[in-house]
Amino acid sequence: MSSQLAGLDASKLTITKTTTPKERLPNEQLVFGKTFTDHMLIIDWDAEKGWLTPQIKPYGPLVMDPSACVFHYAFELFEGLKAYKDAEGKVRMFRPDMNMARMNKSAARICLPTFDSEELLKMIGELLKLDNKFIPDERGYSLYIRPTMIGTDPGLGVHTPSKAQIFVICSPVGPYYKTGFKAVSLEATDYAVRAWPGGVGDKKLGANYAPCIKPQLEAAARGFQQNLWLFGPEKNITEVGTMNFFAVFKDAVTGKKELVTAPLDGTILEGITRDSILSLCRERLSKDEWTISERYCSIDEVKEAADKGLLVEAFGSGTAAVVSPVKSIGYHNQNIEVPLLPGEQFGPLTKQIADWIAELQYGIVESDWSRVIG
Amino acid sequence: MSSQLAGLDASKLTITKTTTPKERLPNEQLVFGKTFTDHMLIIDWDAEKGWLTPQIKPYGPLVMDPSACVFHYAFELFEGLKAYKDAEGKVRMFRPDMNMARMNKSAARICLPTFDSEELLKMIGELLKLDNKFIPDERGYSLYIRPTMIGTDPGLGVHTPSKAQIFVICSPVGPYYKTGFKAVSLEATDYAVRAWPGGVGDKKLGANYAPCIKPQLEAAARGFQQNLWLFGPEKNITEVGTMNFFAVFKDAVTGKKELVTAPLDGTILEGITRDSILSLCRERLSKDEWTISERYCSIDEVKEAADKGLLVEAFGSGTAAVVSPVKSIGYHNQNIEVPLLPGEQFGPLTKQIADWIAELQYGIVESDWSRVIG
């Protein structure tokens, strides 16, 4: 990009306040991504000028030429992160720099413009201040923030977009599990493939999502709640639904436990919760009792471990649920039972991780990962 | 889908004419997909009601909630076909039933609604009648028709869209090669992968396009015009850029020629021009002199044939260019020269096919493939 192009500049932000403020819904009526705050952030980009004047304005429809490349060639990417209110009413974001870094990587992969992460975060901070009343203050509740970038070029040629737009919308959300954890059943899926080497499965692109709905419906028709995505002749486990996957194995001889998740080899979404879990477990779990591994495990390894009583627990990880316990995996008419704590819907590490991360998100335990806005 | 849902119904079409008709650009100023006709066709769909009242109205912007699923999860697919004016001024579409069938397959794959192909074609016919003045009458010129379907559901949950929209926009276009064929150089690409078994590479989804721009820029930076997409350890040739790929080999002993293109195994776009070429060649080329094969050939097979003087020609096929001759293929610092006729930018079969198809498209030779709009 030429140095004459304007960079993203939070100091130029203009704010137009809504004249028709919405009522905030009671916490118990919140549904993920269904209602939005009063305002949105919009920043246009142009190949000749760079990033144009950022605007916060009332939440409202986008007006776009039907030939805009976002409608035809999937020039689109997004992020998902949350803002939390701590006990003192301060607003906090959890590792938002990670989302910005990933958003830039996604943009570069599909030839959309990159940007200064800190500048965008400053402007998201301004949006949060303006829409502060929509950030729930109850534990478990938060404001889901959806930064999105789309190609807005009109015209049907398939090429690098010369116009793009970042927009950020925010939706107040409740806990993923309203009445405590509910463990899910997975269908190990080898009839559809989410991502492949040389593809874009590691980026948060719209292109990775629509193709996964049909396999999800197929799994649901057979009584499973999510796909467990397998890959290759080895039937390696890659991800679960739209989450990263973790399993815990126990060594038959030493009793030492191993936390396993797939390595970031270009096909695995670089989950921020995944990264947080690995960091926390490396830091806080006893090295005598635990090994933390970024390696593939195959569905056969999981089956064999379960048969021998060496599968301890399994869970998905992502921004929406943080951790999502797994109770069973169906695979070619076999059923792999995944242990849960007696009478509970989770395994011990799953619960431990959920607590650790919530304490950081809500500022109960201070850390570099929690950024206070204001 | 419940039988109580309304099907697509052309008899309900409403037409609102523009009050500000555009001037038609002179043929020589036409650029692919840059200017559009006066009107567009829009049909909304709703999971509870089915297909709503179809509307032809003035070409203009779409107004859509920023949380619409087309912006986030790539619920989008498209088709491309052309309308031609024959010598008598009659408007013809070329095999439009094939586009409609493929559009329905694309929709089903990403859980967007399917529709009655003939009903949509009737309405596209009405749009063509209304915008007849934009259909160029010069040979080589045509009206490019872009039927598109998008998911319009507001809300950030990842699920089957409960609202969708078909829109059809039209752009007058000139010949792909304004001054006769211009053969292209390809870079055999194994550092990025367009499609994968179990993926969606055979469907005309937006998701397949944005990820291909970066590899194209990388190839261009090394002096090549398009990617030649390889797949697997065999380095099989799958497609070229956004076209299907054809090669002609000669048998060293018998002199018999073989026309080869990749089989429709789920990773190859089911090109309508591809299908037309196979049908015409099977029908019109001498069986004594030609074999027509849907099979993979590897880049090594092409290299070896070229080295032995047994590579006759190669070309891409698609709606935009019909056929696009290839002059060379770069692969790991090797250069494979593809023969062209002496002093020309094409091989003999490439030119023959271009002529055959143009005669059918412009109604010079009557066939079932050409549908007159009347």
User: Each residue of A343-371: pLDDT tens digit?
Assistant: 999 999 999 999 999 999 999 999 999 99
Alpha-carbon gap, residue A335 to A28, rounded angstroms: 36
In chain B, list all ranges with CATH 3.30.470.10.
Answer: 10-174
- Per-residue pLDDT, B1: 46
Q: Is the pLDDT of residue A2 over 60?
A: no
Average pLDDT over residues A273-286: 98
Measured between CB atoms, does A62 come within 8 Å of chain B?
yes
| Residues on chain B touching A200 (C-beta within 8 angstroms) | 211
- Per-residue pLDDT, A1: 46
Q: Is the pLDDT of residue B124 over 50?
A: yes
Measured in degrees and rounded to the nearest 5, phi and psi for residue A33 equal: 70, 20
Query: Distance, in angstroms, between B290 CA and closest chain A CA?
Result: 35
CATH superfamily for B184-361 is D-amino Acid Aminotransferase, subunit A, domain 2 (3.20.10.10)
Q: Is the pLDDT of residue A131 over 60?
A: yes
- Confidence label for B229 from pLDDT (cuts 50, 70 and 90): very high
Measured between CB atoms, does A221 come within 8 Å of chain B?
no
CA-angle at B258, arms to B257 and B264, nearest 5°: 165
Measured in degrees and rounded to the nearest 5, phi and psi for residue B282 equal: -65, -35
Alpha-carbon gap, residue B11 to A189, rounded angstroms: 43
- Confidence label for A69 from pLDDT (cuts 50, 70 and 90): very high
Nearest to B72 among A72, A148, A190 (CB): A148
Q: How does DSSP assign B15-56, residue by residue?
A: E---SSPPPPPPGGG--TTTS--SEEEEEEEETTTEE---EE
Query: Distance, in angstroms, between A15 CA and closest chain B CA?
Result: 18
Cβ density class B347-361: b for 16+ within 10 Å, e for less: bebbbbbbebbbebb
Average pLDDT over residues B136-143: 93
pLDDT above 70 covers what percent of chain A? 99
Q: Is the pLDDT of residue A172 over 90?
A: yes
CB contact under 8 A, B72 and A206: yes
Answer whether B24's CB lies under 8 Å from B138's CB: no
Q: Is the pLDDT of residue B179 over 80?
A: no
Residue of A nearest to B216 (CA): A159
Mean pLDDT of chain B: 96
| Residues on chain A touching B70 (C-beta within 8 angstroms) | 70-71
Answer whether A150's CB lies under 8 Å from B66's CB: no
Answer whether B221's CB lies under 8 Å from B276's CB: no
Reading the block at residue B293, the tokens are 């094969």
- Per-residue pLDDT, A16: 98
Measured between CB atoms, does A374 come within 8 Å of chain B?
no
Reading the block at residue A10, the tokens are 């939070």
| Architecture of the domain defined by A10-174 | 2-Layer Sandwich (3.30)
Measured between CB atoms, does B191 come within 8 Å of chain A?
yes
CB contact under 8 A, B206 and A207: yes
Alpha-carbon gap, residue A109 to A128, rounded angstroms: 29
Q: List all residues of chain B from 278 to 337 with a beta carbon under 8 Å from chain A.
A: none
CB contact under 8 A, B61 and A66: yes
User: Each residue of B59-87: pLDDT tens digit?
Assistant: 999 999 999 999 999 999 999 999 999 99
Lowest mean per-residue pLDDT among A31-45, A145-159, A167-181, B5-19: A167-181
Q: List all residues of chain A from 133 to 172 with a beta carbon under 8 Å from chain B.
A: 144, 146, 148, 150-151, 155-160, 167, 169, 171
Measured between CB atoms, does A76 come within 8 Å of chain B?
yes
Measured between CB atoms, does A61 come within 8 Å of chain B?
yes
- Confidence label for A3 from pLDDT (cuts 50, 70 and 90): low
Average pLDDT over residues B156-176: 96
Lowest mean per-residue pLDDT among A38-42, A174-178, B135-139, B198-202: A174-178
Mean pLDDT of chain A: 96
In chain A, list all ranges with CATH 3.20.10.10.
Answer: 184-361
CB contact under 8 A, A110 and B62: no
Answer whether A83's CB lies under 8 Å from A129's CB: no
Q: Is the pLDDT of residue B91 over 90?
A: yes
- Confidence label for B3 from pLDDT (cuts 50, 70 and 90): low
| Residues on chain A touching B160 (C-beta within 8 angstroms) | 213, 217
- Confidence label for B355 from pLDDT (cuts 50, 70 and 90): very high
- Per-residue pLDDT, A178: 78
Answer whether B128's CB lies under 8 Å from B135's CB: yes
| Residues on chain B touching A82 (C-beta within 8 angstroms) | none
pTM: 0.97
Nearest to A148 among B33, B71, B209 (CB): B71
Which residues on adjacent β-strands are paired with residue B113?
Answer: none
CB contact under 8 A, B146 and A67: yes
Average pLDDT over residues B137-149: 95
B360: left (phi over 0), alpha (psi -120 to 50) or beta: alpha
Q: Choosing among A35, A36, A39, A73, which should be mutated to test the B contact, i.e. which has the most B CBs within 10 A? A: A73
- Per-residue pLDDT, A113: 98
Q: How does DSSP assign B147-158, residue by residue?
A: EEEEE---SS--
CB contact under 8 A, A156 and B192: no
The answer to ipTM > 0.90 is yes
Measured between CB atoms, does A201 come within 8 Å of chain B?
no
- B48-51 long-range contacts, CB within 8 A, separation 24+: B48/B5, B48/B162, B49/B5, B49/B6, B50/B1, B50/B4, B50/B5, B50/B6, B50/B7, B50/B113, B51/B5, B51/B6, B51/B7, B51/B8, B51/B9, B51/B113, B51/B115
Average pLDDT over residues B309-330: 97
Query: Distance, in angstroms, between A69 CA and closest chain B CA?
Result: 9
Alpha-carbon gap, residue A27 to A238, rounded angstroms: 35
**Strand runs labelled E in A289-359:** 290-294, 311-318, 322-331, 334-337
Query: Distance, in angstroms, between A211 CA and closest chain B CA?
Result: 5
A333: left (phi over 0), alpha (psi -120 to 50) or beta: left
Residue of A nearest to B109 (CA): A214
Average pLDDT over residues A146-167: 97
Three-class SS state of A6: strand
Answer whether B152's CB lies under 8 Å from B161's CB: yes
Answer whether B262's CB lies under 8 Å from B239's CB: yes
Query: Distance, in angstroms, between A46 CA and closest chain B CA?
Result: 17
Residue of B nearest to A112 (CA): B210
Give the pairing type, strands B370-373 and B91-94. Answer: antiparallel
- Of B133, B65, B144, which Cα lies nearest the Cα of B99? B144
CA-angle at B50, arms to B49 and B52, nearest 5°: 85
- Alpha helix positions (H), A168-295: 213-221, 272-284
Compute how many other C-beta atoms are within 10 angstroms of the C-beta atom of residue B334: 12
Q: Choosing among B40, B76, B202, which should be mutated to test the A contact, i.e. which has the most A CBs within 10 A? A: B76
Measured in degrees and rounded to the nearest 5, phi and psi for residue B217 equal: -65, -35
**Strand runs labelled E in B86-141:** 91-94
- Per-residue pLDDT, A203: 98
